[in-house]
Structure 1
Amino acid sequence: MLKLADELVFARTGKHLNDLQKTILRGTWENEEYKEIAQKVKLSEDRVREVGMELWQILSQELGEKVKKSNIRASMERLQVSIVSHLEQHHNQIGSFNISGESKHPPNIPNSQADNEETANSKPTKTSHQDLSEMPELGAFYDRTPQLETLKTLILEQGCRLIALTGISGIGKTTLAAQLVQQIKDEFDYVIWCNFETSPTLAEFQDKLIQFFSQSEKLDTPETNQKALPLIKYLQKYRCLVVLDDIHNLFSSGELAGKYKLGYEEYRCLFKNIETLSHQSCFLLIGWEQPREVTQVKNQNPAICTLQLTGLDIEPARELLRHYGLGEIENYSAIIHRYQGNPFWLKSVGNLFQELGEGVTEILQDETILLPEDLQDSLQQTISRLSDWEKEVLSLMAREGDGIKLVKLIENTKIPPSDLVNVVQSLWRRCLIEQQGNCYILPEVWRQYIKGLCRDTAS
């Protein structure tokens, strides 16, 4: 049954059954309810029902009859009977032709390699339209296999519609996304990478997408005079992957994380529609900040999720350091930990070592935090986006040294408690602070940099 269903789906969509579709088919065959299937795959019942309805629709189109959960077994059994009957008829025809000495094959039944090739070639081939002109070139890519597999599962198997890829500057978000797109782009009808460095308005962004979809559609069917559809219609009609890089440029500097700039508030409605309306596409948002409606806490809505990217593991980070001659020093793991496995920060220290030589390693052995100019520029770029209250809290945490509890923060600042909670949440969403138990920690690189800023201000 699964093999037959897979062939039918492939004939209609050009894609094989994914794991979730197979699980739904197996469960339906065994008379399980959507609720039972949902419990197995740890998804919501609504999500399983939605994927099931889409699957029944595909099978209905291919079989030429109304297929639903209640009659899928009967429909597939009728198809099996039809196939067996056809094969028996084909066998009898072959036998009669052999008896009469004819070498000609029965009409409409492919029985030779040439016939099979002709049949295969007659099937419409899937056309994938891709605009990756704004995607950066793939440079050195250090092992991110677990994160890649997680993203593939979310997009290809679980059908997640809106994914926020977040993390501090330099952690490798764009590099990971570019690697992901290269690996999965052929699974989609349309793929486009949009860089938000220029902060396009919602109207400009939607016009860009609609133009991309509609022009490609006209190329596929030049004989028709098709009119452009609303954006959501293309997302429903085709399977699209849309990547939005540098999404933080939609948000205001000097405010808590995720507050839209004046004139950009309409993006909230776009992201809400992508999350709630039924379609088969995926938006991947990349940036230091994410929309406030995209929470970083795991929730029960499978249509929307956040993946926070952290530093490289020890071995990939050591491989990076080897390019700069630092991979074999005695305490390389301590250096990686000190710089949080951040690829950009480690490259910055590596460049310093290549320019100044062995003296740098002697300083690094002493647990000193070196802050090369390009690393400081990156940190300052992030600091410049913070609100005054966020800067005040970071300064306090830098002076404290160890972790600090929320109660102590309230005692040592003049920020009203209700506002302070929002400030801490904003810093956490920006990935600038870490949480250990009931304490908040400021990583060493940030501590060193902020203490330097405080000294400069005092002087």
Structure 2
Amino acid sequence: MTIDELVLLLKASQATGLTTLQELILRSSWEGKTYINIACEAHYAEERVKKIAAHLWQVLSNFCKEPINKSNFRQTLENHRLSKADQELVKEFNRAAIAISLEFPSGPVSLNSRFYIPRPPIEELAYAEMVEPGSVICIKAPKKMGKSSLVLRLLARANKQGFHIVSLDFQQADKAVFASLDKFLRWFCANVSRELQLEPKLNDYWDEDMGSKVSCSIYFQQYLLSALSSPLVLVLNEVDWVFEYQEIAGELLPLVRSWHEQAKRVEIWQKLRLFLVYSTEIIVPIKLTQSPFNIGLTINLPPFTKEQVQDLAQRHGLDWTDGKDADSLMVMVGGNPFLVRLALYHLVGKGGLKQDLGQLLPQAPTEAGIYNEYLRQYVLALRDQPKLGDAFYEVINTTSYVKLEPVLAYKLQSMGLINLEGDRSTPACELYRLYFRQYLKKSEDFNNTRVERLKQENQHLLVLSSLDQLTQLVNRRYFQTYLQIEWQRAARQRIPISLILCDIDYFKIYNKTYGNSAGDECLQKIANTICNCVKQSLSNSSFSYSKRMNYSQGGAFVTSQRGDFRDECSRVLVARYGGEEFAILAQVEVTAAMDIAEYIREQVKALEIKCEYPSIGGLPAAVLTVSLGVASVIPAIEIEPATLVNAAEEALYQAKRKGRDRVVV
């Protein structure tokens, strides 16, 4: 008999169970500790400890039917085996204890729960990294894989070490917060201040001339971190929620990276310990040297192993040591922690141990199964996003794997619906294949007219959300998505793709000199000019690429959105890329792109928009001009589209550096 078995037996057999002090005396005596040591540890008088111990020895003597005292306690009990009746008594006690402590698997597993399954060495690695000055821990896993439970334990350890803790969930931010980078960073700083119980003093540190990112960094360095005597653990939950707002994500992520870099040379930044918690691959086009996801410790939470499923089953009072039931459950749900726990909860909590796994599993992928309420949430999500539903339908109806568009694959992976290895998508588990195949098959029978009408309404809303209201061109967010799609298409077809970035020279000075109204009118004129130049260029055979295709003057263009020009041979998108920047993405080779860029430069100059700045000399001309950077490449799947953007940005920078009013490739 072990000491654990003995403690359980006494708890089960004694009407009053065991007190904390009685259990401490038993365990300490088993280890050979003296009454004096036990009394010191328990903060009790030695005489009281001896009195309680004497009662325990009498109880054990009656149980073993031979004299038991402190000196022969362990030797005698170790040689004593539990009878079948004792084993049944302990088993029934365990069942009752589990029923009392059983918790429905919703949200993070509480700190005192018996149902948290460690995944070594993840926890210890994270604990060690957290104490490092200026550390960054990235925790990535699909939903319901245990991210929140792990973070809860990391924060408990941080709290014990006296660290300050701030946990922000980007899902809680109003949509209006994402209207601009400045508004978002002010919300961010205000919430960190509130969590630290510090008065928000944004106006004391915010400087419009320096910009939002610098102001945010100064606020952290000179106010927040300076006010703290111990390190700050800052948890950013649901970071991929920000990915939906690419302009903000493209600025926030490099900012977070810069804080980590500053910790190497500025001592106060060493107080900051960052946790980035997210569910999907980053789809924001930023340079690797600006990403916070490739520094510090990266944790990818894996599914449960068979051994961990068996461990969890044992904690629920189930004997799955032979592995057969664990194998059967994992065939259906894989190692998904939530799905495994929900099955065990129903086996023990609702049906008791009489509930048969053989009965639970056949019902699992049906509306009568235990997972129906959970899976219905995905049904609604897939119904709201038809493209996502179509992509998942393709995955579950393929016997091997499917290659999906990256954006769709990442979204399905973040939802936990698919496994993604490289570009290969497979169902996350058999449960999803069986359940959703039935649901999506039913959805094909929906009224076609109604479905088509909904698609049109969704498309109309998408167009509205993708337009820049001033110029009526598509915005940068639409451009980024379009670039991803066109990059993949060009890579498959092995055709060139070119990017032209156009910047209005000294526009901020123009805006300040002539006013916002004149500036808005100027932007509209130049946007119209760029669109006309592109359209005329595509209609002119001298601008066709490689095969020198000819484009007719009439009816060759299909305009799906303002600035989105397409014909049977070429695809061109014009977008408002930034405040005074425009982007032209075209499936043409570099010579044609250079011709288009030069034509735009000439036509903008021909508008003769006067700009007279008495205090500034050396302007390119007395009228507004533009500088253009051109980059061209034949894409490859393994190369990121950001490569093209970076090259065009560098070319634009060179155009400005060389005096503006020019095209540089």
Which bin holds the TM-score, normalised by the shorter protein? 0.5 to 0.7
1:241 counterpart = 2:233: yes
Give the Cα–Cα distance (whole angstroms) in 2 for the partners of residues 300 and 170 of structure 1.
Answer: 24
Kindly provide the CA deviation profile for residues 113-162 of structure 1, in whole angstroms up to 9, marking residues without a partner as x: xxxxxxxxxxxxxxxxxxxxx9984233212232212323443348433x
Residue 346 of structure 1 and its aligned partner are, at CA, apart by 1.5
Q: What's the counterpart of residue 130 of structure 2?
A: 155
1:182 counterpart = 2:156: yes
How many residues end up aligned between the 2 structures?
A: 292
Q: Which amino acid aligns with 1:361?
A: L
| Pairwise CA RMSD | 4.2
Residue 174 of structure 1 and its aligned partner are, at CA, apart by 0.5
Q: 1:405 to 1:381 in 2, by over 3 A?
A: closer
Give the Cα–Cα distance (whole angstroms) in 1 for the partners of residues 109 and 170 of structure 2.
Answer: 13
1:52-451 to structure 2, matched below 5 A, reads 137-138=110-111, 139=113, 140-157=115-132, 159-161=134-136, 163-187=137-161, 189-199=163-173, 201=177, 202=184, 203-213=186-196, 215=198, 230-233=219-222, 237=226, 239-247=231-239, 250=241, 258-260=243-245, 266=248, 268-277=250-259, 278=262, 279-280=269-270, 281-289=272-280, 292-293=283-284, 303=295, 306-328=298-320, 330-336=324-330, 338-354=332-348, 355-356=350-351, 358=354, 360-363=356-359, 369=365, 375-382=371-378, 384-385=380-381, 387-400=385-398, 402-406=399-403, 420-428=405-413, 430-435=415-420, 439-443=424-428, 444-451=430-437
Give the Cα–Cα distance (whole angstroms) in 2 for the partners of residues 383 and 147 of structure 1.
Answer: 33
Q: Contact between 2:143 and 2:414, CA under 8 Å: does it hold in 1?
A: no
Q: Contact between 1:164 and 1:294, CA under 8 Å: does it hold in 2?
A: no
Q: What's the counterpart of residue 3 of structure 1?
A: none
Residue 181 of structure 1 and its aligned partner are, at CA, apart by 1.5
Q: 1:398 to 1:205 in 2, by over 3 A?
A: same
Q: 1:197 to 1:149 in 2, by over 3 A?
A: same
Kindly provide the CA deviation profile for residues 344-366 of structure 1, in whole angstroms up to 9, marking residues without a partner as x: 21222223334346464223577
Q: Which amino acid aligns with 2:400?
A: G
Q: Which runs of 5+ in 2 are unaligned?
A: 1-106, 178-183, 202-216, 263-268, 446-665
With normalisation by structure 2, the TM-score equals 0.37
Kindly provide the CA deviation profile for residues 45-82 of structure 1, in whole angstroms up to 9, marking residues without a partner as x: xxxxxxxxxxxxxxxxxxxxxxxxxxxxxxxxxxxxxx
Give the Cα–Cα distance (whole angstroms) in 2 for the partners of residues 290 and 425 of structure 1.
Answer: 6
Kindly provide the CA deviation profile for residues 179-200 of structure 1, in whole angstroms up to 9, marking residues without a partner as x: 1121233556421223445335
Q: Which runs of 5+ in 1 are unaligned?
A: 1-133, 219-227, 252-257, 410-419
SS in 1 for 2:131: helix
SS in 1 for 2:371: helix
Q: Contact between 1:195 and 1:244, CA under 8 Å: does it hold in 2?
A: yes
Residue 266 of structure 1 and its aligned partner are, at CA, apart by 3.7
Q: Contact between 1:259 and 1:292, CA under 8 Å: does it hold in 2?
A: no
Q: 1:403 to 1:292 in 2, by over 3 A?
A: same
Give the Cα–Cα distance (whole angstroms) in 2 for the partners of residues 300 and 210 of structure 1.
Answer: 23
Kindly provide the CA deviation profile for residues 219-249 of structure 1, in whole angstroms up to 9, marking residues without a partner as x: xxxxxxxxx971354566453111233455x
Q: Which amino acid aligns with 1:352?
A: H
Percent identical: 16
Q: What's the counterpart of residue 32 of structure 1?
A: none
Q: 1:233 to 1:445 in 2, by over 3 A?
A: farther
Q: Contact between 2:159 and 2:165, CA under 8 Å: does it hold in 1?
A: yes
Q: 1:241 to 1:333 in 2, by over 3 A?
A: same
Q: 1:293 to 1:164 in 2, by over 3 A?
A: farther
Q: Which amino acid aligns with 1:378?
A: Y
Q: Contact between 2:402 and 2:426, CA under 8 Å: does it hold in 1?
A: no
Q: 1:191 to 1:429 in 2, by over 3 A?
A: same
